[in-house]
């Protein structure tokens, strides 16, 4: 287990810039607007051969009227509880503020190593100005400039020395299940309901989650990472830079996922934007499970599950072999069924079928239903194999691959699904020259 280091402080002091520098990736969104980071954001870093996990937190503001600030404060306090050491970041440009004093008061009660870090110190005058931070009562401080990395070496030397020794356990690469959908569909609430704690900030304001965040989760004896993503809106609705970054994070989360749990609002249906996300996951050849949330608001209506599912599948054609689970995050209705289905889809996606079995099943079938003749030429399929790729792809070797048209490829795909169960997984069928 690696140690956990939390980066805390008031908004807009440069915590996310420092976080990105340490993990050497642009993972947390950085913007001049204060309050950009809302959830706790996790990353890995190491120094002098010692690895540790970092938590980037939202800015701490006591007594704010902002609906998000109370939630952010709760997240900061949770991060401090989780951490083995705390980096308290302040800004030399603005000097000591009331908010800094609020955070310092919170940290003076903590029985863990606390490192006071004065950011944006990139010249001698600013180094002299940093002296005033002694008034926070946290002892010695470190001066850094997180934008260019100046001074971070001395801080990290002291940090890793203070971290307790922990037994190293080899970390496995876990499957990734991305929870995706349009804003305010209930993605964060779904994860909070699953793990039984307020891991993510949830408010009824659309667009609360801005970053894509991982949580390790174990269910049905299967361990995986759950990835909460920012809601994806239409490009025309993406007004501000921040929203654009969040959409890009969600797109990247889909690209790096094994299975996408597409959450849609039952009261809104499988609308154009949800369909865009569905086809994005399908084009990336990801496993897909559709979760119809807020079903408790609809089931009192005359709509039945069967009818609702039929309408969704009509809009998915031709890729209709996708599980649809009707859930209610509020009442926790079928939320574990959703995860069980996602695990099944993951196994379907990584399924490998022996070449001998494929040929045994398909050669007689193809003999009875051969590809239609084209320009008086007959296509003869001789041999079938599954390609060694992360998702199911099959090569059918024949004499005239160019004459096999899409309808027949769809026929072969449907037969693969019928014989071997690839529910929820896009399949690729290729015709190759024998």
Across the range 179-188, mean pLDDT stands at: 80
pLDDT in tens, 43-102: 678 888 888 877 777 655 455 454 444 554 566 676 677 788 999 999 999 899 888 888
In the structure encoding, which two tokens stand for residue 305, read together? 């599950």
* Alpha carbon distance 4, 159 (integer Å): 11
**pLDDT at residue 390 above 70?**
yes
Q: 363 CB contacts (<8 Å, ≥6 apart)?
A: 381, 384
Across the range 242-253, mean pLDDT stands at: 51
> DSSP label at 150?
B
In the structure encoding, which two tokens stand for residue 317, read together? 């054609």
Indicate the pLDDT class of residue 362, thresholds 50, 70 and 90.
very high
**pLDDT at residue 241 above 50?**
no
For residue 3, which of 117, 87, 90 has the smallest C-alpha distance? 87
CB-based burial of residue 33 (10 Å sphere; 0-12 exposed, 13-18 middle, 19+ buried)? exposed
Indicate the pLDDT class of residue 176, thresholds 50, 70 and 90.
confident
**pLDDT at residue 235 above 90?**
no
Indicate the pLDDT class of residue 247, thresholds 50, 70 and 90.
very low
Indicate the pLDDT class of residue 354, thresholds 50, 70 and 90.
very high
Radius of gyration of the chain (CA): 26
Alpha carbon of residue 265 to chain centroid? 19
pLDDT score at 37: 39
The Cα-based distances of 322 to 136, 269, 288 in angstroms read: 57, 16, 7
* Residue 376 region by backbone torsions, left for phi larger than 0, else alpha for psi between -120 and 50, else beta: left
CB-based burial of residue 102 (10 Å sphere; 0-12 exposed, 13-18 middle, 19+ buried)? middle
Indicate the pLDDT class of residue 201, thresholds 50, 70 and 90.
very low
**pLDDT at residue 178 above 80?**
yes
pLDDT score at 214: 66
**pLDDT at residue 144 above 60?**
yes
pLDDT score at 252: 66
């Amino acid at each position: 287990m690696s140690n956990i280091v939390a980066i805390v402080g008031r908004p807009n002091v440069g915590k996310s810039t420092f976080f990105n520098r340490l993990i050497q990736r642009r993972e947390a969104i950085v913007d001049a607007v204060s309050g950009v980071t809302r959830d706790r954001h996790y990353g890995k870093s190491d120094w002098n051969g010692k690895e540790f996990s970092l938590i980037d937190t939202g800015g701490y503001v006591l007594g704010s009227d902002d609906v998000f600030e109370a939630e952010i404060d709760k997240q900061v306090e949770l991060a401090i509880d989780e951490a083995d050491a705390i980096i308290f970041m302040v800004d030399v440009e603005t000097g000591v503020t009331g908010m800094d004093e609020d955070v310092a008061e919170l940290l003076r009660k903590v029985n863990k190593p606390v490192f006071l870090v004065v950011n944006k110190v990139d010249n001698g005058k600013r180094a002299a100005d940093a002296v005033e931070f002694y008034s926070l009562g946290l002892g010695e401080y470190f001066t850094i400039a997180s934008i260019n990395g100046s001074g971070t070496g001395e801080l990290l030397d002291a940090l890793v020395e203070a971290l307790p020794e922990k037994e190293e356990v080899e970390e496995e690469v876990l499957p990734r299940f991305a929870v995706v959908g349009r804003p305010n569909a209930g993605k964060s609430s779904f994860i909070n309901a699953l793990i039984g704690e307020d891991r993510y900030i949830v408010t009824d304001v659309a667009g609360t989650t801005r970053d894509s965040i991982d949580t390790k989760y174990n269910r049905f004896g299967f361990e995986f990472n759950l990835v909460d993503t920012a809601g994806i809106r239409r490009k025309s609705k993406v007004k501000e830079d921040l929203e654009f970054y969040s959409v890009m994070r969600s797109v990247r989360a889909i690209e790096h996922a094994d299975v996408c749990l597409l959450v849609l609002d039952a009261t809104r249906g499988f609308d154009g934007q949800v369909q865009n996300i569905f086809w994005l996951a399908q084009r990336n050849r990801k496993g897909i499970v559709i979760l119809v949330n807020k079903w408790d608001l609809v089931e009192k209506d005359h709509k039945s599950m069967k009818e609702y599912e039929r309408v969704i599948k009509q809009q998915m054609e031709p890729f209709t072999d996708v599980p649809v689970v009707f859930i209610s995050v509020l009442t926790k209705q079928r939320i574990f069924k959703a995860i069980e289905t996602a695990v099944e889809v993951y196994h379907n996606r990584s399924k490998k079928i022996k070449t001998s079995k494929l040929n045994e099943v398909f050669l007689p079938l193809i003999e009875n239903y051969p590809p239609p003749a084209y320009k008086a030429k007959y296509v003869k399929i001789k041999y079938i194999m599954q390609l060694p790729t992360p998702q199911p792809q099959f090569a059918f070797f024949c004499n005239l691959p160019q004459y096999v048209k899409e309808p027949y490829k769809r026929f072969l795909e449907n037969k693969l699904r019928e014989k071997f169960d690839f529910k929820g997984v896009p399949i690729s069928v290729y015709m190759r020259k024998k």
